[in-house]
Chain A
Amino acid sequence: MVSERTASAPPAASGAAVAADGLTKRFGSVLAVDALSFELAPGTITGFLGPNGAGKTTTLRMLLGLAAPSSGNASVFGRPYAELAQPALRIGAVLEATDFHPGRSGRDHLRTLSRSASLPDARVDEVLRLVELEGAAGRRVKGYSLGMRQRLGLAAALLGDPELLILDEPANGLDPEGVRWLRDFLHAFATDGRTVLVSSHVLAEVAQTVDQVLIINRGKLVIESSLEQLTARVGGSVRVRTPERAKLQQALERSHIETTILDEQGLLVHGVNSDKIGDLAFAAGVPIHELVAEGSSLEDVFLELTAEPRS
Chain B
Amino acid sequence: MIAQMRAELLKIRSTRTAIGMALGMIALILLFSLLSGLLTEPSSLTSTEDQRGLLGVGSIAGVFSALAGIMLVTSEYRFGTIRPTFLCTPRRSRVVGAKLAAGLLAGLLFGIVGEGLGFAIGYACLAGRGLSYALNGGQTALLLLGTVAVVALWGALGVGIGMVVRNQVVAIIGLLAWAFVAENLLFAFVPSVGRFAPAHASDALMGFTTSHFLPAAAAGATLVAWTIAFAFAAIGLVANRDVN
How many A residues touch the partner, as a band?
A: 20 to 34
Contact check, B15 vs A99: say whether CB atoms are below 8 A apart: no
The majority secondary structure among interface residues of chain B is helix
- CB interface residues, B 64-118, toward A, < 8 Å: 75, 79-81, 83-91, 98
Contact check, B88 vs A66: say whether CB atoms are below 8 A apart: no
In the complex, what distance in Å separates the CA atom of A82 from the CA atom of B10?
A: 24
The answer to whether A108 has its CB under 8 Å from any CB of chain B is yes
The smallest beta-carbon distance between A153 and chain B, in angstroms, is 8
User: Contact partner of B84 among A61, A84, A91, A99, CB < 8 A?
Assistant: A99
The answer to whether A104 has its CB under 8 Å from any CB of chain B is yes
User: Contact partner of A99 among B4, B8, B79, CB < 8 A?
Assistant: B79
Contact check, A87 vs B87: say whether CB atoms are below 8 A apart: yes
Residue of B with least CB distance to A160: B88
Contact check, A95 vs B83: say whether CB atoms are below 8 A apart: yes
The answer to whether A213 has its CB under 8 Å from any CB of chain B is no
- CB interface residues, A 69-95, toward B, < 8 Å: 81-84, 87-88, 91, 93, 95
How many B residues touch the partner, as a band?
A: 20 to 34
Binds B, one of A113-121, A265-273, A274-282: A113-121
- CB interface residues, B 1-60, toward A, < 8 Å: 3-4, 6-8, 10-11, 14-17
In the complex, what distance in Å separates the CA atom of A84 from the CA atom of B17?
A: 33
- CB interface residues, A 103-137, toward B, < 8 Å: 103-105, 108-109, 111-113, 115-118
In the complex, what distance in Å separates the CA atom of A304 from the CA atom of B15?
A: 48
In the complex, what distance in Å separates the CA atom of A98 from the CA atom of B244?
A: 13
What are 10 A-B pairs at a CB distance below 8 A?
Answer: A66-B87, A87-B88, A95-B83, A98-B80, A100-B81, A104-B15, A112-B8, A115-B7, A118-B3, A156-B84
> Which residues from chain A sit less than 8 Å from chain B, CB to CB?
61, 64-68, 81-84, 87-88, 91, 93, 95-96, 98-105, 108-109, 111-113, 115-118, 156
4 closest Cβ pairs, A-B complex:
A116-B7, A99-B80, A108-B14, A67-B242
